[in-house]
Amino acid sequence: MKIENPRLLVGHTGITWGRDFAEDAVKGIAGFGFHYIELFAWVLEAFQEKGKSDILERYDIPLISSYISNDIVSPDLRDEEMKKLSDWGDIAVAFGAKSITYGGNGVDRRAFRFSEHKKYVADFVNDAARLMESKGLLLNFHPHTGTPVETAEEIVEFFDAVDTRLVGFAPDIGQIQKGGADPMKFVKDYISILRLVHFKDYCGKVDWDEEGKEIDQSGFACYSPLGEGVVDLFGILEYLEKSTFDGPLMIELDGGRNRPIPAEDAVRINKEYMEKVGYTFLKR
């Protein structure tokens, strides 16, 4: 199966390499010909501190978005978290980002109840979006396993509560399926506010140990290189290409401690899948 004349451009996030190998991620993603890169704000901050603010220019790859996560559930930390967000937003702007992919903090999912925090979460994220807008950045919320917004019900409640004129949607299709929901449904239901997609496959199984910690089934935090998992990747691509969504598609694969193959090989598999279904890449 192949997408005929695809119009969407394909980027890749840097998470596959891990935080300690961020320059390798930039070099690898640029070398594979991806159109864009997304990096954590704290990775950009580390580049600044090391005198490498020109790294994206050197490798000729634009930063389409920077990933930022905050504590979005603790009122006593509000000022501290907003200051952190503001500083990271400034760093993202300095590196040329156009948007922020924004997620919540880690919580104990066994005890967490989103409904008890919904009003504060919505108010905080709306204010975060206004702050980013003042810096020329779009804020796109990213539901994530292990955070306050994970399940289908929580995603719906969240977007019902926030101001979607300010807050866009940046779903991770693998994360959503891992969280027990249908990513195709969410892509379709929220197409009007969809601004960026983390394009990821999921191995199809997750278990926890006695302490409630996730047992990594794949070596990639239970995710898989594209085409090796259970997500309906082609169906989602086909829908997005015919929709009003104008991208980008940001491929992502978490780098686990027990990663079975090197990051470069995993990203090569991702690229080969996208080429197989019709997408093209740059020659640098």
Residue 193 burial class via C-beta count within 10 angstroms: exposed 0-12, middle 13-18, buried 19 and up? middle
pLDDT value at residue 79: 97
Whether the model clears a pTM of 0.85, i.e. scores above it, the answer is yes
Residue 70, beta-bridge partner list: 104
Preceding amide of 248 cis, omega within 30: yes
Give the pLDDT of residue 57: 97
Which domains are present in the chain? Answer: 10-276 (3.20.20.150)
Name the 3-class secondary structure at 169: strand
How many whole angstroms separate alpha carbon 276 and alpha carbon 119?
A: 45
Angle between helices 118-134 and 152-161 (to 10 degrees): 60
**Which pLDDT value is given to residue 145?**
78
- Cβ-based neighbour number of residue 174 at 10 Å: 29
Instruction: Check residue 90 and give its pLDDT.
Output: 98
pLDDT, tens digit only, all 284 positions of the chain: 899 999 999 999 999 998 789 999 999 999 999 999 999 999 999 999 999 999 999 999 999 999 999 999 999 999 999 999 999 999 999 999 999 999 988 877 778 888 889 999 999 999 999 999 999 999 999 998 788 888 889 999 999 999 999 999 999 999 899 988 899 999 999 999 999 999 999 999 888 888 778 888 898 989 999 999 999 999 999 999 999 999 899 999 998 778 899 999 999 999 999 999 999 999 98
What is the per-residue pLDDT for 213? 80
C-alpha span between 151 and 240 (Å, rounded): 22
Single out the residue of 193, 192, 171 nearest to residue 182, CA to CA: 171
Sheet with 167-169, edge to edge strand ranges: 167-169, 138-141, 99-104, 63-70, 37-40, 10-13, 249-251, 197-199
d(CA 118, CA 162): 9
At residue 115, what are phi and psi to the nearest 5 degrees?
Answer: -55, -30
Distance CA 234, CA 51 (A): 41
Rounded to an integer, what distance in angstroms lies between the CA atom of residue 275 and that of residue 282?
Answer: 12
Sign, CA dihedral 76-80-84-86, equals positive
DSSP reduced 3-state for 242: helix
What secondary structure, in 3-state letters, does 65-91 show? EEEEEECCCCHHHHHHHHHHHHHHHHH
